[in-house]
Chain A
Amino acid sequence: MSSQEHYGSRLPYKFLVGLVALVIFFLEAPLIILIIQSFTAESYLAFPPPSYGIRWYKEVLTSEDWLNSITLSLTIAAVVTPLSLVLGTMAAFALDRGPKKLKHGLQTIMIAPMVLPHIVLGLGLFKMALQLDIDDSMLAYIPAHLTITIPFVIISVGASLQTFEQSLEEAARSLGANRFWAVWYITLPIIQPALIAGGIFSFIISFDEFIITFFLTTFQRTLPIEMFSTLMYQVKPSIAAVSTLTLAVTAFLTAMLILRGQVTSGDKVIK
């Protein structure tokens, strides 16, 4: 009611609602169509599906190719996430506490991979991996993913450190904690929301990464690459089922992120 009163007339308000609905529809429609198609019982993709079932989910979850690629992607993301958090947090501390003169230059360099065209990054990493003879292996994927996940941690933790009251650390140190324990017991728990955000970002980005990984693989296939190569041969409903599964994981993690943000933004409620 209050928003209607605010706009004075019902017409512009209705117009606004319609506009928002339209935008949401265009954003979400492809996803919704994909999800519905994934539950088809037929052997081809059609919308709307003539019949429904979970046939393609069964197929995906019993197919060795799909399971291998899912496992590989999850394994990479599971290694990348903690490494990304530790390295990114350390970098964020260095930028926050280090010499002010160097801060801007260093930050730009460290965040650059985030905005650099991934195809350029992939090409460079490909040449490097070949030289070191580590292509088509975890030794290549993990550092490659780290280059693009670490900037997200640096940004989220860095922002959090900027508003962190450093006298809290000093208080801890005056009470007998050395620098490490002061950070461990005081700073990290307080910036925890930023750490969780950075971790979730790292996981999603690594799990979803295609371009750079594509340069580095020969026989091994991460989930996005398996999806891409399947599409090259045929368009089967299994691809819709895998997409829906991926979407579910990503959506779940993003939802956690958003909920987390709501919980902690009313600060001092952290228990």
Chain B
Amino acid sequence: MSSVELKSIVKKYGAVTAVASIDLSVESGEFVTLLGPSGCGKTTTLRMVAGFIRPTSGTLSIGDIDMTGVPPHQRTVGLVFQNYALFPHMTVRKNVEFGLKMQKVLTSERGPRVQEALELVQLEALGERMPGELSGGQQQRVALARALVIRPDVLLLDEPFGALDKQLRDHMRVELRELQQKLKISTLFVTHDQDEALSMSDRIVVMSEGKVSQVGKPTEIYEKPQTRFVADFIGRSNILAGKVENKGKTINAEGLTLPNKENVIGGDEGVSVMIRPECVEITKSDSKATSSSADVKGKVTASIYLGSIVQYSVQINKGPNLVVTQNNTGSESLKNLAIGDDVDVSFPDSAIYILPG
């Protein structure tokens, strides 16, 4: 049974197409993330599930019931906004109780359920506070409790960590995922932050310009991107234009000769080859290290220090410019690398990924 199912959903505003025919499902208990740059239609999609936007065409069902034209208050969805949207004139307890009151739950039953929801987010001590008296993270938790207390068919989260600082964001990420798995609640999460998407999701739906670019597990999205857009958007990547040569045995990627391990044929337009920067190893040429498998040489043209990693631009001799990242382990060879240095470049065959299509 799927909790949420979108079939050929389209949303047009006049001549502008915000969402162009999306098919999407969230299975029971699944955590699905809509990931994409701003303006890709992810928030519009979420708002259609919540019922605030009516699709131009297509059908939308929640809990296997057609909800396409049903107003928001008749859907049982729990919604958490980026700005939390806590009611500023009500205490935390009243905020959480509001949904139960609207759904005409008996007063005697409301108290325990509010308490239960507050305990779930570890805020049972702050029930009598006003939202304005809480920190960002606490407000976030209240919003979550308020959405969960109505026992929704699906939890919808619209960039819920956008307003938090990085430390708290990382913490809430773990906390939310644990809570979601504990409650086994179907969740649709919207974000433009790939780290959030990769770390929390069962499945990621990458969106671009109102369309779905790829649906898959985080590992599939990162390691086997189906489109150039996904390869570009998720993580750092080197994407090279390649041509199959040497009777199909090798690929010439902008002057770099790579083995054609998957035996792709590649038409006239050639193939796109992706190499993740972290898969590439560089060592200083004059360090007299053992000759590496790929005898590729290059020159460092730029380096950016990012703390845990250092990112280099390496101009391959008679080849492309590659972005290379190295873990900052404090090793001497890494520290001694400077712009203009000649380097040996190597990467395993498994680092070479041919983009389909």
**Which residues of A come within 8 Å of B, CB atoms?**
165, 167-168, 170-178, 181-182, 185-186, 189-190, 267-268, 270-271
What are the nearest 3 A-B pairs in CB distance? Answer: A268-B132, A175-B99, A176-B102
B50 contacts the other chain (CB 8 A): yes
**Tally of B interface residues using CB under 8 Å:** 29
Contacting residues, chain B, for A186 (C-beta < 8 A): 87
Decide: A178 near B71, CB < 8 A? Known: A170-B79, A268-B132. yes
Q: How far is the CA of A165 from the CA of B77 in the complex (A)?
A: 20
Contacting residues, chain A, for B52 (C-beta < 8 A): 170, 173
Decide: A177 near B73, CB < 8 A? Known: A172-B102, A268-B130. yes
Contacting residues, chain B, for A175 (C-beta < 8 A): 73, 98-99, 102-103, 146-147, 150
B85 contacts the other chain (CB 8 A): yes
Contacting residues, chain A, for B98 (C-beta < 8 A): 172, 175, 177, 185
With A168-B85, A170-B52, A170-B85 given, can you name 13 additional A-B contacts, CB distance below 8 Å? A167-B81, A168-B88, A170-B81, A173-B72, A173-B73, A174-B75, A175-B147, A176-B73, A176-B103, A177-B98, A177-B102, A182-B73, A268-B131
**Which residues of B come within 8 Å of A, CB atoms?**
50-52, 71-73, 75, 77-79, 81, 83, 85-89, 98-99, 102-103, 130-133, 146-147, 150, 156
Q: How far is the CA of A100 from the CA of B196 in the complex (A)?
A: 37
Contact B71 A268 (CB under 8 A): no
CB of B95, distance to nearest CB on chain A (Å): 9
Q: Is the interface of A mostly helix, strand, loop or mixed?
A: helix
Contact B79 A171 (CB under 8 A): yes
Q: How far is the CA of A224 from the CA of B88 in the complex (A)?
A: 43
Q: How far is the CA of A165 from the CA of B89 in the complex (A)?
A: 13
Q: Which of B50, B75, B98, B130 has the most CB of A within 10 A?
A: B98
Contact A178 B79 (CB under 8 A): no
Contact A165 B102 (CB under 8 A): no
In the complex, what residue of chain B is closest to A185 when comparing beta carbons? B98
Decide: A190 near B102, CB < 8 A? Known: A167-B83, A174-B79. no
CB of B91, distance to nearest CB on chain A (Å): 9
> Which of the residues B99, B133, B156 comes within 8 Å of A176, measured between beta carbons?
B99
In the complex, what residue of chain A is closest to B150 when comparing beta carbons? A175
Contact B72 A174 (CB under 8 A): yes
Q: How far is the CA of A171 from the CA of B51 in the complex (A)?
A: 12
Contact A176 B130 (CB under 8 A): no
Contacting residues, chain B, for A178 (C-beta < 8 A): 71, 73
Q: What are 19 contact pairs spanning A and B, CB under 8 A?
A: A171-B85, A171-B86, A171-B87, A171-B146, A172-B98, A174-B72, A174-B73, A175-B99, A175-B103, A176-B102, A177-B73, A177-B98, A177-B102, A178-B73, A190-B87, A267-B132, A268-B88, A268-B131, A268-B133
In the complex, what residue of chain A is closest to B132 when comparing beta carbons? A268
CB of B69, distance to nearest CB on chain A (Å): 15
CB of B135, distance to nearest CB on chain A (Å): 14
CB of A139, distance to nearest CB on chain B (Å): 39
Q: How far is the CA of A155 from the CA of B51 in the complex (A)?
A: 31
Decide: A174 near B50, CB < 8 A? Known: A167-B81, A268-B130. yes
Contacting residues, chain A, for B73 (C-beta < 8 A): 173-178, 182
In the complex, what residue of chain A is closest to B91 when comparing beta carbons? A271
